Amino acid sequence: MLKKIDDCRWEVPMTGGMKVPGIIYTSERLLKDMGGDESQKQVANVAHLPGIVKYSLAMPDVHWGYGFPIGGVAAFDMETGIISPGGVGYDINCGCRLMTTRLAYDEIRGNIKELVAALFQNIPSGVGSKGDLKLSVKEEKKVLEEGAGWAVRQGFGRPEDLETTEDGGRMAGADPEKVSDRALERGREQLGTLGSGNHFLEIEVVEEIFDPIAAVAFGLELNQVVVMIHSGSRGLGYQVCDDYLARMVKHSGELGFSLPDRQLACAFLKDRRGQDYYAAMAAAANYAWANRQMLMHWTRETFEKTLRKSPRDVGMKLLYDVCHNIAKIETFPVEGKEMQLCVHRKGATRALPPGHAALPPAYLKIGQPVLIPGNMGTGSYVLVGTEKAYTDTFGSACHGAGRVMSRTQAMKASKGRSIHREMADLGVTVMASGRGTLSEEIPAAYKNLDEVVAVVHRAGLARKVARLRAVGCIKG
C-alpha cells in the first residue's frame, strides 16, 4: 500500500526484506495510469538489494521493466553494494541528443516533407539495420574505448561537439576485452544506425519558453528549429546485457542472499564479475555515444544539402547529449557527508545543479540541460537540473513520458487505423521502416508528457526551460 508523502511523492513502506523504503515521484492522475503495472512491486524488490542507500526511487514516467522498473533510480555503496544489468537495461546508454539551429520554422515550413524523406534515406533505421561503415575488430574496439571522440576523429562531427556531450562522450573504465565476440559481431555493422522501437530522429520547433535566462544559456528561442535524436548501443549493448545477465543468474546462488526476483541478478561491486560487467557496460556506453555522434553528423549534412544552405546558415550545434540506462560511480551527500556510490539510472537521466564539476563550462552557472522527449505526436521538453535533485534523487530526473500500453496492446488499439494520417492531422510528418513501428508507438501508448514533466518541475528535480513541438519524425 502506497503512503502519500506530498503531491509529488508516494512512499513504498519497508516490509519483509526491504533495506530502505521506496519513493515514487508521481501525481494522483499518473498513479491511476499505473493500474496493474508491476512497477510498484519492482521498486520494493530493488530495495532488498545489498548496499542500497537511502531509498529505491522511481520517476513519474515509471513503468514495468526487466528486474528494475523503467524510470528506476538506485544507488549502492561501493563497499557492500552490487551492480545489476537489470538496473541498467538492455539498451545500454540509450540517450537523447538535442541540436539547435539558426533556422526559424517559417524558413523550412515548406520543406518538412522533403527533409523527413532525406533523413529517412540517409540515416539507416529499423530492426537489425546496418550502416555503410564496416569496422574491423581492431577498429571497433577503438570505438568502445574512445566513444564519441573516435567518431569526431574520423570526421563525423567537430571537436566542440564533445564539449556538450555527457562525460565528453567517453566513459572511463571501458574494457573492450570484457565484451564478447558475439556482441562485437552484432555491433560491427550497426554503428551509425538509429534502430527501432521508440528510437527516433525528430525535427521540432521551440513552442514555449518558461525560463528565459536558461533558454539563452542553452541557445533556445521561440520558433527556432531544433532536432532531437534518441538512440543507443544497438545490438552490441543488448548482447552485453544478455551475456552478463546469464553469467550472474548462473552464479546467483553464490551471493549469500536470496533475490526477490531472479531478474535482479547482480554481482558485488568489489567482485570480479561486477567489475567485468562495469567495464563491458562502459564500452557499450561509448559505442552509443559514437553512434549518436555519427547520426548527428549525417543530420547536419542532410539539412545543409536538402535546404541548399551553408553550414553557417544552418548552424546546427549540439545543445547537449544525455544518457539513460547506465550505472555510474558518482559522489552524493548521504547523512551529511559526501559518499562515492554506484548510481543505477534505468530510464532516467542526470539532472545536475549549477556548479557541479561534471558540467561543461558553458552550463556551469545555469545547470545541466535535461532532455525529456514525449511520444511522436507531442514533441519534447528541455529542463535544467537543480540542487534538490542532487540532494534528493542522486542528481536524477525522468527520461521521457513512459509507456501505459505494452507494444502488443498498442498494436491492438491501432488496428485498422492509419497512423500516418493521424500524425499528419497533428501536424507531424512521419516515416518509419517497420510496418508495425507506428502502431506500437501511437501517442496513446504513452503517459501525458505535460503531466510527467509537471511532477518533475513541482518536485524541484528539474526546472522547465522550454517546450518543443514535433513537426517531422523518422522511426525505425
Range with lowest mean pLDDT among 6-10, 35-39, 285-289, 416-420? 35-39
pLDDT higher than 90, residue 462: yes
3-class secondary structure for 157-195?
Answer: CCHHHHHCEHHHHCCCCCCHHHCCHHHHHHHHCCCCCCC
The answer to whether the CB of 19 falls within 8 A of the CB of 41 is: no
> Which H or E element spans position 97?
strand 95-104
The answer to whether the CB of 401 falls within 8 A of the CB of 446 is: yes
| Three-class DSSP category at 308 | coil
Determine the pLDDT at residue 29.
92
The answer to whether the CB of 203 falls within 8 A of the CB of 306 is: no
129-176 pLDDT, tens per residue?
777 788 999 999 999 999 999 999 999 999 999 999 999 999 999 999
Determine the pLDDT at residue 131.
73
**Domains, the chain:** 3-80+90-475 (3.90.1860.10)
Nearest CA to 293 out of 331, 323, 313, 268 is that of 323
**Torsion on CA atoms 175, 164, 58, 463, rounded to nearest 10:** 170
Range with lowest mean pLDDT among 318-327, 436-445, 449-458? 436-445
**Residue 48 catalytic?**
no
- Where residue 36 falls among pLDDT bands split at 50, 70, 90? low
The answer to whether the CB of 174 falls within 8 A of the CB of 442 is: no
416-432 pLDDT, tens per residue?
888 888 888 888 999 98
- Please give the Cα distance from 277 to 280 (Å, whole number): 5
Determine the pLDDT at residue 410.
86
Cell for 29? 492522475
Contacts of 186 (CB under 8 A, 6+ apart): 234, 235, 236, 238, 239
Over residues 97-119, the mean pLDDT reads: 97
- Please give the Cα distance from 476 to 127 (Å, whole number): 7
Catalytic option among 48, 199, 324, 399: 399
Determine the pLDDT at residue 339.
96
Determine the pLDDT at residue 427.
86
Over residues 326-338, the mean pLDDT reads: 95
pLDDT higher than 70, residue 319: yes
3-class secondary structure for 415-434?
Answer: CCCCHHHHHHHCCCEEEECC
Cell numbers 537489470: residue: 86
Contacts of 59 (CB under 8 A, 6+ apart): 25, 71, 72, 73, 347, 348, 393, 396, 397, 398, 399, 456
Nearest CA to 211 out of 4, 474, 465 is that of 465
- Where residue 13 falls among pLDDT bands split at 50, 70, 90? very high
Over residues 279-304, the mean pLDDT reads: 98
The string of DSSP codes covering 324-357 is -SEEEEEEEEETTEEEEEEEEEESEEE-PPTT-T
How crowded is the C-beta side of 463, counted as CA atoms within 13 Å? 19
The answer to whether the CB of 473 falls within 8 A of the CB of 433 is: no
- Where residue 126 falls among pLDDT bands split at 50, 70, 90? low
Strand partners, 337: 334
Determine the pLDDT at residue 406.
84
How crowded is the C-beta side of 280, counted as CA atoms within 13 Å? 30
Name the more confident of 235 and 128. 235
Name the more confident of 353 and 436. 353
The pTM is what? Answer: 0.96
238-291 pLDDT, tens per residue?
999 999 999 999 998 899 999 999 999 999 999 999 999 999 999 999 999 999
- Where residue 198 falls among pLDDT bands split at 50, 70, 90? confident
